Chains A and B, each alone.
Chain A
Amino acid sequence: MTALEKEIMAKFGNNLTLLEKDMWDDFRLFYENKEEYKKKVDDMSKLFGVTENPEFRFKNDYLPTYIVGNYKDKKEKYVVISLNPGFKEELSKREEEIKKGSVDNYHKFILEFFTLISKIESEIKLENKNSDYSYYNCLRPYLSKLINEEIPKDKQFDVFFEYLINIDIIPYPSHEFKKTPKKQTST
């Protein structure tokens, strides 16, 4: 058993769900065998036929994002299942700075995601840079109906922190998600 595996076991024990196990296995692979991690991500790009296109190819040098949201909290939650994390240079680099380096950083990033991205978006605005988490804007009116509560735009991340968990089917980020069309077969 590696030191990292021992640390994860000591912190989270044997009560992990399959998804959390997958997540921590991938986290360990990223740090313990970078080449193998890159190969795994590149194989996913191959599966979708997007290896040659940098816009669609999955990023193999960023940590995976399986789950975000305060799922340890026992209050009522709604899960959003998405395809994969969107990659935006300005935002993704800042996220990576927060989550990299240790089990605690990564775990904190997952649980406090909506609070952290709210801070990142504020920093970006202060720097007059043009990047935001527009993906989550489309969820605000929808969540509002589900919880029967108005959600002001400037408070949306507070409400998301309270209610939302986002799970990505493919945990590797890309600028856009698009698979290449299947080859036409002649009949």
Chain B
Amino acid sequence: MKSIWDFITKNKNIKGVIFNGSKFSEIIKRLYPNIVIETDTVKGNCKDHKIQLFTLDGIKCI
């Protein structure tokens, strides 16, 4: 996820992020067992870079 957020934050034309899937946190925990700050990282990016975050269930800024 680190590299994905690096990509998103360096491309200033990105206006929003859509998570297409309902099991992301579970998958991320499996891939990155030592990382427990994903939610905080997302919050930080959302506030710092004014990126809107969405899920497919509806518009949702985390």
Contacts and interface: CB of A to CB of B under 8 A. Distances in A.
Contacts of A167: 4, 7
B56 to A, nearest CB: 6
B17 A78 contact: yes
B15 interface: yes
A19 B31 CA distance: 16
B61 to A, nearest CB: 13
A71 B8 CA distance: 10
Contact of A74 (B4, B8, B13, B30): B13
| Chain A interface, DSSP helix/strand/loop, else mixed | mixed
Contact of A19 (B3, B13, B19, B23): B3
Most buried by B among A80, A145, A167: A80
Nearest to A78: B16
Nearest to A15: B10
Interface size range of chain B in the complex:
20 to 34
Contacts, number: 77
Interface in B36-60: 54, 56, 59
Contact of B27 (A17, A22, A76, A83): A83
Contact of B3 (A18, A75, A145, A170): A18
A175 B62 CA distance: 31
A78 B15 contact: yes
B6 A19 contact: yes
7 contacts: A18-B3, A22-B3, A47-B30, A77-B14, A78-B14, A80-B20, A169-B28
Interface of B: 1-4, 6-8, 10-11, 13-21, 23-24, 27-28, 30-31, 54, 56, 59
